[in-house]
Copies of this chain bind each other. A is one copy, B any other.
Amino acid sequence: MTYLVKPVGHVESSLRSLDDAPRQGDEGAPTAWLVLDAAVAPALEAIGVGDELVVLTWLHEAQRDQLRVHPRGDLSRPVVGVFATRAPSRPNPIGLHTVRVLAIDGSRVQVADLEAIDGTPLVDIKPALGPLDSR
């Protein structure tokens, strides 16, 4: 059994290639836009400036047959299973990014500290659930 991911939009960013991208959003990632397809714009309703979101992306340049990696690509560190790392190359290369909303313009959402590169497909957006969140 397999399942089909239909992207709901894409990332618009100044990061053009994986070589430019930091490994995590809090390691110097830029402000970027989540550009939602017009058809799914109603799904954004009630999201506001200042909200903390978890953005799921499809890391479309990742390899899917890699099961063990050097953590953070550091060859001096011993190889471990990809599920013990945040390496983009993994069987189902879904990226998880915690970001804060800076602005909303129709079906475009500006967020801080997103390490995904320009053109990365958007899979899902969820509210972060932290101790500060009211459910």
Contacts of A8 in B (CB 8 A): 91-92
Cβ B94 vs Cβ A43 within 8 A: no
- Give 17 CB contacts A-B under 8 Å: A1-B7, A8-B92, A43-B82, A43-B90, A44-B81, A45-B79, A45-B84, A46-B81, A47-B83, A47-B84, A56-B92, A56-B96, A72-B135, A84-B127, A86-B129, A92-B123, A94-B123
Given contact pairs A46-B80, A90-B124, a sample of 7 additional A-B residue pairs in the complex whose CB atoms are under 8 Å apart: A4-B4, A5-B92, A43-B67, A44-B81, A56-B96, A94-B94, A96-B96
B-binding residues in A (CB < 8 A): 1-8, 24, 40, 42-47, 51, 53-54, 56, 58, 60, 67-68, 72, 79-86, 90-92, 94, 96, 121, 123-127, 129, 135
